[in-house]
Chain A
Amino acid sequence: MPQEPSSPLTEKKTLIIGLGNILKGDDGIGVRVAEILSQRELPAGVAVEEVGTPGIDLMNRFEGWQKVILVDAVQMGAKPGTWRRFSPQDVRLIANGNVLSLHEPDLASVLELAQALNMLPDEIVIYGVEPQDLTFMAPLSSPVEAIINVIAEQILSEIWK
């Protein structure tokens, strides 16, 4: 069953969510990072889960958390393996125009809808990684593989600070 927030010993109850489809090469980056973090010690009030490709249901995972950290493949037009930490306000996310579909769960649209419905947590942070290969059954590409631990450590330092 999905994890629920535990007692709030830290500043903010924080949920780290790994997104992506592990069958589609670098699209699985969020899931891989979540797998690593789930093996590490986390502060009380912090949980991690991988949710695959939940589409609009991602919103339901926000309930009860003050901060949500999303890890996902993001096409930024950068070199594969490049990663950035940003908030939804920092950048304009374009995902399929102003529409909602589910196979491309359209993180931007889901966040916009959550905002319109007042369902966003206080803070959202997105760790985005530029993918190289998104074909079915491809392994993680070497530039993306090389960055997994870096992102995991970065998130750990963010939540332990």
Chain B
Amino acid sequence: MSKRIDVHHVTRVEGHGNIVVEVENGNLTTCRFEVVETPRFFEAMLLGRPYHEASHITSRICGICATGHATASLRATEKALGVTLSEQSWLLRKLTFHGEILDSHILHVYMLVAPDFLGVGSVIPLVNTHPEVVLRALRMKKLAGDICAAVTGRHTHPIAMTVGGFTHFPTTAELESLHKRLVESRKDLDATVELFSKLSWPEFERDTEYVSLSKPDEYAYIDGDIVTTDGVRVPPERYKEVTNEFLVPHSTAKFTRNKRESLMVGALARFNNNYDQLHPKAKEAATALGMKPKVTNTFLNSAAQVVEIVHSTEDAILIIEKLLERGIQAEEPAPVTRMPGEGVGVADVPRGLLIHHYQIGEDGRITGANCIIPTNQNINNLEHDMRVLVPQVMHKDQEAMRLDLEMLVRAYDPCISCSVHVLTIK
């Protein structure tokens, strides 16, 4: 008896990846996740460009992680050129980052993951069967986008976020309005947690090395040390000691590993490393979802995203309260204090640890760049998960097996390529 699962271009993930699984006489003979494209073009794009363009170029690489790329890019430049952000700039950076975490996670859990559990093929039939779910998701998503637009000038590509700070500031009225809407959105959060706590997540366990940022005083999204559940802690500048990139023949993306055969980044990794720093309401959500670290069921990465939706909403409310209390100042960006320079910027973006590493020459142009993308770090782990999952599901028929594997891929919220968005007309 042999089975072959060959999924070309897994749907409801970002970009193109293929699942190839072959089972012969009950033995798994082939198990690959082929990445057929990858955004490894960053370095070439940045070389020779003035440092102030880097965040605008890299934000264009991705329509979802635009703020994440811009943030990691700006931190790399700011560290290279000795730029110290003001307290207000930090609050605004964190606020817009929460906006993107919310935007991305809401899209993923509602539009890409929920259809698997609600028995429909995509979000469009969901409009007929569960209209309130789709409308809630869109309402929450719009609020998230409006946070980014108020802070950085527009929703997707944060035009007003620049080296040293911002060139545009939200008004008090905008912040008050966002605050009101975020507080009102708590009822949507409750409904979200309730919905996802009722889903029956696939049973699956595979412990791995979970890698994320960590900071002493907060749930880390921007800056911090790189830490792992296997006890590693290094500053961002030593990222290569953790990522250890290597090549495999079937993928154009580089793979990573550290202490074990593979490692995982993303919401579940952050949850496992930084649970203690979650907002109390996010911990309540975790309890409702049946999660307590260390969680080793990869499918629950999506549930960890639900927990982070609660955390980011609550933390955004606190940040806005701080900003309103201080009063928004239209301040100039902090100055560059040295040139040339070299810096590593890290951000734990929706899909996990993102690293930008730049060298900037005396003339202010980028002479070297290295970017490590979350999905690249996860693909190796995904393949190892597949090797564990396939023997558990190989008794099922081909279609059911295929769905299980696709759901596993989607659990990673992979972001395989970026931003080709061409229509095909038949």
Contact for A103 among B44, B122, B134, B420, CB less than 8 A: B420
B58-90 to A contact mask, C-beta < 8 Å, 1/0: 001111100000000000000000000000000
Chain B: which residue is nearest A119 at the CB level? Answer: B138
Contact for A94 among B44, B64, B145, B426, CB less than 8 A: B426
Question: Size range of the interface on A?
Answer: 35 or more
Contact for A53 among B41, B153, B156, B425, CB less than 8 A: B156
**From residue 186 to 232 of chain B, which have CB atoms closer than 8 A to chain A?**
none
Note all chain A residues with C-beta closer than 8 A to B145.
Answer: 57, 60
Question: Size range of the interface on B?
Answer: 35 or more
B14 and A102 within 8 A (CB): yes
Note all chain B residues with C-beta closer than 8 A to A98.
Answer: 121-122, 124
A24 CA to B124 CA, complexed, in Å: 28
| A160 close to B (CB within 8 Å) | no
Distance in angstroms from B419 CB to nearest chain A CB is 4
B11 and A57 within 8 A (CB): no
**From residue 29 to 66 of chain A, which have CB atoms closer than 8 A to chain B?**
51-57, 59-60
Note all chain B residues with C-beta closer than 8 A to A74.
Answer: 422-423, 425
| A150 close to B (CB within 8 Å) | no
B424 and A103 within 8 A (CB): no
Note all chain A residues with C-beta closer than 8 A to B141.
Answer: 56-57
B423 and A95 within 8 A (CB): yes
B421 and A100 within 8 A (CB): no
Contact for A101 among B13, B57, B142, B425, CB less than 8 A: B13
B421 and A104 within 8 A (CB): yes
Greatest chain B CB density within 10 A among A54, A59, A77 is at A54
| A155 close to B (CB within 8 Å) | no
A23 CA to B111 CA, complexed, in Å: 26
A109 and B124 within 8 A (CB): yes
Contact for B11 among A22, A60, A99, CB less than 8 A: A99
B423 and A136 within 8 A (CB): no
| A156 close to B (CB within 8 Å) | no
Q: Known interface pairs A22-B60, A103-B418, A116-B127. Does A72 touch B107 (Cβ–Cβ under 8 Å)?
A: no
Note all chain A residues with C-beta closer than 8 A to B135.
Answer: 117
Q: Known interface pairs A117-B138, A137-B41. Does A102 touch B64 (Cβ–Cβ under 8 Å)?
A: yes
Note all chain A residues with C-beta closer than 8 A to B45.
Answer: 23, 136-137
B404-426 to A contact mask, C-beta < 8 Å, 1/0: 00000000000101111111111
Q: Known interface pairs A27-B422, A53-B156. Does A103 touch B124 (Cβ–Cβ under 8 Å)?
A: no
Distance in angstroms from A27 CB to nearest chain B CB is 6
B138 and A2 within 8 A (CB): no
Contact for B149 among A1, A27, A113, CB less than 8 A: A1
Note all chain A residues with C-beta closer than 8 A to B153.
Answer: 1
Distance in angstroms from B141 CB to nearest chain A CB is 7
Contact for A102 among B9, B11, B107, B425, CB less than 8 A: B107
B63 and A54 within 8 A (CB): yes
Note all chain B residues with C-beta closer than 8 A to A109.
Answer: 122, 124
B420 and A134 within 8 A (CB): yes
A107 CA to B424 CA, complexed, in Å: 10
**What would 5 more interface pairs be, CB under 8 Å, given A52-B157, A74-B423, A103-B14?**
A73-B422, A77-B425, A96-B9, A98-B124, A103-B415
Q: Which residues of A contact B (CB under 8 A)?
A: 1-2, 19-24, 27, 51-57, 59-60, 72-77, 91-109, 112-113, 116-117, 128, 131, 134, 136-137
